[in-house]
């Protein structure tokens, strides 16, 4: 999965902040797990040895492509 966040501070912003988050995994042949939505039951997360639908919402929010992009954006903005 890929998530790209772009922060454009104003219409004439010559240097928007662009951050990309990647979540590597595999597509499963059959659905697994009860959490999440969309492709979550079909997305295998190798570092956890389960589908993303098997993860708790909190775990998924720490590992996902969206979370990774947001971490990068916060770093670029000088936030924790």
**pLDDT over 90 (residue 80):** no
Record the pTM: 0.86
Q: What is the dihedral of CA 46, 43, 74, 8, to 10 degrees?
A: 140
CA 30 remoteness from chain centre? 22
24 Cβ contact list (under 8 Å, min separation 6): 46
Whole-number pLDDT of residue 8: 97
Tokens standing for residue 62: 């720490």
Task: Answer for the pair 65, 3: CB distance below 8 angstroms, yes or no.
Answer: yes
What's 2-76's CATH class? alpha beta
In this predicted model, what pLDDT tens digit does every residue of 18-52 receive, in sequence order?
Answer: 999 999 999 999 999 998 889 999 999 999 999 99
């Amino acid at each position: 999965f890929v998530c790209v966040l772009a922060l454009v501070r104003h219409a004439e912003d010559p240097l928007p902040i662009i951050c990309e988050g990647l979540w590597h995994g595999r597509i499963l042949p059959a659905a697994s797990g009860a959490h999440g939505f969309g492709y979550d039951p079909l997305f295998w997360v190798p570092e956890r040895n389960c589908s993303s639908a098997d993860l708790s919402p909190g775990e998924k929010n720490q590992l996902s492509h969206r979370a990774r992009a947001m971490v990068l954006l916060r770093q670029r903005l000088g936030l924790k």
